[in-house]
Amino acid sequence: MKILIASDSHQKSQVWMDALKKKYPDMDLYLHAGDLDDIPTNGWKVVAGNVDRKANRKFPCQQIIEIGKHHILLVHGDLFEAKTRIDQLADLAQKEACDIVVFGHSHTPLQEKREGILFLNPGSLIRPRNKTATGFMILDTDTMKVNRIEATLGSNGIVVGPHSV
């Protein structure tokens, strides 16, 4: 199964989410790890980020999603201290019997496997940090292969490829 993972699209969420679904219509699941607009989510599973909570948007703070034999913990990440975030997320994932954790907040992509748990942060769609590019991830749960796709949003939709920040 294929999952498209995005986060931190802020005020461009509707445009990004629609463009991603149009460009990648064959995904089995679309996940957004928070900080988006108060918009209809059009089939996306979403959680509230710090910006969403401040704006009183009605998204859950976390979701557990079962897809095939995998259990995914979807959170924004801001409720966990930066220096120990992965450790805290690992504890929560183990408590909830999740083998994949998807989170955002840092605007910096991360892919790490620890103690049998795959941690994925796609980075930001519009405000990358730490000299990274804007982008998202696609996870194939059959092979557990993760692709981070650098992309920008052009007037005709998504432009995929390496971009300077």
44-57 pLDDT, tens per residue?
Answer: 999 999 888 888 88
Q: Over 50: is that where the pLDDT of 165 sits?
A: no
Task: Identify the pLDDT of residue 161.
Answer: 73
pLDDT: is 79 or 118 the higher one? 118
Q: In this structure, what CATH number is given to the domain that contains residue 130?
A: 3.60.21.10
User: Could you tell me the residue range of the domain that residue 10 belongs to?
Assistant: 2-160
User: Across residues 55-65, what is the average pLDDT?
Assistant: 91
The answer to whether position 31 is within a domain reads yes
Q: Over 60: is that where the pLDDT of 148 sits?
A: yes
The answer to whether position 165 is within a domain reads no
Q: Which helix (H) or strand (E) holds 102?
A: strand 100-102
Number of domains in the chain: 1
Instruction: Identify which of 18, 26, 30, 10 has the alpha carbon closest to the alpha carbon of residue 124.
Output: 10
